[in-house]
Each structure stands twice: as C-alpha cells, then as structure tokens.
Amino acid sequence: MLIERLSSKTKVLDELLSGGIENGVITNFYGPAGSGKTNICLLFTLSALKKGKVAYVDTESGFSTERFFQMGGTKEDLQNVIYEHPSNFQEQELSLQKLKNIEGLSLIVVDSFVSLYRLLLNDENITNINRELAGQMAYLSNLSKEKKIPVIITNQVYNVNSNEIELSGRDVVKYWSKCLIEIKKSDENRRLAIIRKHRSQPEGKKVEFELTATGIEKAKFKIF
Ligand SMILES: Nc1ncnc2c1ncn2[C@@H]1O[C@H](COP(=O)(O)OP(=O)(O)O)[C@@H](O)[C@H]1O
Ligand SMILES: [Mg+2]
C-alpha cells in the first residue's frame, strides 16, 4: 500500500515527516501554549486547500485570518475552509458528526482536540468523558481511513514534574494518534519538533524551526 502524504509546504517540517503527514491516520501535534501548533495547522490547511476543502474545528478561537493571509492564503482559499467553532465538548461532537457527509475534503483539523474536554473533566465524570473522547478519536480515525485524508489534532500538555510532561487525554489520545509530534520552545524564537511516535520514522528525530512573518522556517545556525 502506497501511503500518500500531505506536504506542509515547508522544507523543515517535510524533512522531519519525510514528505508530510500521512493519509488515513491521525497526526497529533502536542505542546505548550505558544509553541506553534496553530501555525502548523494553518500551514497544512493551506497545502490541503490546493487539493480540496478543509474542515477546521477551532475550539480556542486560534484561527487567525490575518495569519492565514500572511502565510499566503487568499479570500478564495477561505471560502473552501469549513469552519466549525464549538464552545463545549458536546458541540465538538456535533461538529465532528457533520464532517462525514461533506464531500471533497482533503484535510480535517481539530485545534485543539482536548481543550473543551479539559473544561468538562472532573473527578466524578472522568470515566464517561474519557469514553466519549475515545469515541471521537475512533470516529476521526475511521473518517481519515474512509476519506483517505489526513487528520490533524492538537493537544495541550501539563507538567507531571519539573522535567516531564503529559498529554491531556493521556493514553486515549496517544493510542489513537498513529503519529505524535512534540513541539517545544527551545528559546524565545526557536521551536523544536520531535517525533515521538511514527510508523516509518525513528522516534527522537527532530528539527529546529522559527516562526517567521510568512510561516515557518528552519532555524539558522546560531553565531555566538
Ligand atoms: N507574524 C509573525 N511573525 C513571527 N511570529 C509570529 C507571527 N505571528 C504569530 N507568531 C508567533 O506564533 C506563536 C504562537 O503560535 P501558535 O501556533 O498560535 O501557538 P499554539 O497554537 O501552540 O498556542 C507566538 O509566539 C507568536 O509570536
Ligand atoms: Mg493554538
């Protein structure tokens, strides 16, 4: 089976992912606020718009049309973005359900997959809410297979101790994400993207990038 990939249209991320994100599976970009997750979603959105429509489920009002235009998007491109803006976890479920009947999708983005889940979560409902989370992941995984398109989710993290982080949604999101990419700040302007799980690339493979006026670029060598 030939696995087709969606290019990020940036050398640095395509180098990391050996061409791009895979069709038919969920790719999860996780990291702290400000690490660049939404920027990465926008890059893949722009790339996918060359092939079809993009469903963008935005739970954090992170989609900036200004940033979209900075990265080369046009007003015509925006018309092919199916934008969903759920405000609670139940609405997120409804937003996702709508996607199965949309023809011509080339990418589904859920940015962030876990922020509304986190808002709802408490000690009493954790079992039920985790079941719903797993249900949404299974559903997205099926959609990506049926439609032969990539799915991107983003994921917040929390600190377990001073040098360990954990993904919100933990085992549920890790199990269903066939590709896990950690994004972290290496200094104020620089970010590291590290492969943590992949079907054909080594764990620990990493690249360093910078967020620039027009998108993302490979970090330049530092001159001390
Ligand atoms: N035009 C720009 N030039 C450089 N950096 C930018 C630009 N626009 C946004 N950024 C940077 O992008 C970062 C936020 O990235 P974002 O993808 O929203 O993070 P996350 O989704 O992980 O919270 C901020 O550090 C911000 O300064
Ligand atoms: Mg974001």
Q: What is the pLDDT of residue 224?
A: 63
Distance 35 CA to ligand 2 centre (A): 8
Q: What is the rounded CA–CA span in Å between residue 160 and residue 167?
A: 10
Q: What is the pLDDT of residue 77?
A: 98
Pocket probe for ligand 1: among 29, 39, 60, 64, the residue whose CB has the most ligand atoms within 8 Å is 39
**The Cα angle at residue 81 between residues 155 and 212, in degrees rounded to 5:** 60
Q: What is the pLDDT of residue 1?
A: 62
> What Å distances lie between residue 188 and 156, 204, 218, CA to CA?
19, 22, 15
Give the gyration radius of the chain's Cα atoms. Answer: 17
Distance 208 CA to ligand 1 centre (A): 15
Read off the pLDDT of residues 131-174 as tens digits, 9 standing for 90 and up.
999 999 999 999 999 999 999 999 999 999 998 999 999 999 99
| Any atom of ligand 1 within 6 Å of the Cβ of 62 | yes
| Residue owning the nearest CA to atom 18 of ligand 1 | 38
Distance 62 CA to ligand 1 centre (A): 10
